[in-house]
């Protein structure tokens, strides 16, 4: 609730600062997601009794649209809509029962960001951009997947945070602007939620060996990620 209130207040404040002479540009963006141990967005390992689990982020990406509204010569407001697909591989090993298996799954979400952007002109056509803001994110659904072994004794359940979540956004990049062909942008962004966005429950059941039936063992899905950003803004 606190995150939603901050998002609404930031949204109202930002749009109330628009000038009558502002201009609006529309763009498209694509953002590959980079695993980063520094932001708790890399491989995680946990164990219980003889079971060892590794949660490994795989190639993931985000894409969507950006609407930029110029407030004045120094500041602009950016909003839009993004679709994010985060992919994972969860592996299990247990030497005592000669078990090795893995399962792949993905978590989909929709992001509604709003950021305040400031830029510095570095040369005639090049601009350095810095922005920060917040977003509200809606997770599409819970996810269940099974191991690659034929019997499918190994499986996982990912339970999303109900009601979505809010995240802090930060961005740094360079932009090449032309009057006739639009703007070309390259940069990097940080997406950092205030709370965990879900829990991953690995389970195993071959009718003889049973693990985590009571779901006391789990991975927290942190939700942090770093992206490389590619954007194109159409001319005004």
Exposure of 127 in the CB half-sphere (CA atoms within 13 A): 18
Q: Does residue 88 register a pLDDT over 60? A: yes
**Tens of pLDDT along 26-84?**
999 999 998 766 666 668 899 998 999 999 998 899 999 999 998 888 899 999 999 99
**What's 96's DSSP letter?**
G
Range of the domain at 119: 2-233
Q: Does residue 15 register a pLDDT over 80? A: no
- The residue-averaged pLDDT of 129-136 equals 95
Question: Which pLDDT does position 140 carry in this prediction?
Answer: 93
Burial per residue of 153-177, b for 16 or more beta-carbon CB atoms within 10 angstroms, e otherwise = bbbbbbbbbeebbbbbbebebebeb
The whole-model pTM stands at: 0.83
Q: Which single residue is written with the structure tokens 């009558």?
A: 20
Q: Does residue 19 register a pLDDT over 80? A: no
- As a whole number of angstroms, the distance between CA 216 and CA 71 comes to 51
Q: Does residue 2 register a pLDDT over 60? A: no
CATH assignment at residue 7: 2.40.160.20
Domain count, the chain: 1
Q: Higher-confidence residue: 194 or 5?
A: 194
Residue 163's pLDDT band, with cuts at 50, 70 and 90, is confident
Q: What percent of the chain has pLDDT over 70?
A: 87
Q: Does residue 103 register a pLDDT over 90? A: yes
Among 13-27, 93-107, 109-123, 166-180, the range scoring the smallest mean pLDDT is: 13-27
Q: Are 160 and 195 in contact (CB under 8 A)?
A: no
Q: Does residue 161 register a pLDDT over 80? A: yes
Q: What is the mean pLDDT of the chain?
A: 88
**Phi, psi for residue 159 in degrees, rounded to 5:** -105, 115
Residue 236's pLDDT band, with cuts at 50, 70 and 90, is confident
Q: What percent of the chain has pLDDT over 90?
A: 72
Residue 20's pLDDT band, with cuts at 50, 70 and 90, is very low
Q: Does residue 11 register a pLDDT over 80? A: no
- As a whole number of angstroms, the distance between CA 129 and CA 76 comes to 10
Question: Which pLDDT does position 21 carry in this prediction?
Answer: 52
Question: Which pLDDT does position 39 carry in this prediction?
Answer: 61
């Amino acid at each position: 609730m606190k995150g939603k209130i901050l998002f609404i207040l930031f949204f109202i404040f930002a749009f109330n600062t628009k000038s009558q002479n502002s201009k609006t540009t529309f763009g498209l963006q694509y953002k590959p997601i980079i695993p980063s141990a520094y932001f708790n967005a890399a491989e995680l390992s946990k164990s219980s009794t003889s079971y060892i689990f590794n949660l490994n982020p795989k190639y993931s990406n985000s894409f969507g649209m950006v609407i930029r509204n110029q407030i004045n010569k120094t500041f602009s407001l950016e909003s839009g809509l993004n679709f994010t697909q985060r992919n994972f591989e969860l592996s299990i090993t247990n030497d005592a029962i000669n078990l090795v298996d893995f399962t792949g799954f993905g978590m989909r979400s929709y992001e509604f960001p709003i950021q305040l952007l400031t830029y510095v002109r570095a040369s005639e056509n090049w601009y350095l951009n810095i922005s920060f803001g917040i977003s509200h994110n809606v997770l599409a659904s819970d996810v269940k997947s099974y191991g690659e072994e034929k019997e499918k004794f190994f499986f996982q359940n990912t339970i999303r945070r109900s009601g979505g979540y809010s995240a802090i956004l930060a961005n740094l990049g360079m932009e090449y602007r032309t009057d006739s062909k639009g703007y070309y942008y390259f940069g990097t962004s940080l997406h950092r939620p205030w709370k965990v966005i879900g829990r991953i429950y690995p389970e195993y059941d071959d009718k003889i060996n049973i693990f985590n039936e009571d779901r006391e063992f789990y991975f927290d899905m942190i939700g942090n990620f770093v992206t490389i950003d590619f954007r194109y803004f159409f001319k005004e």
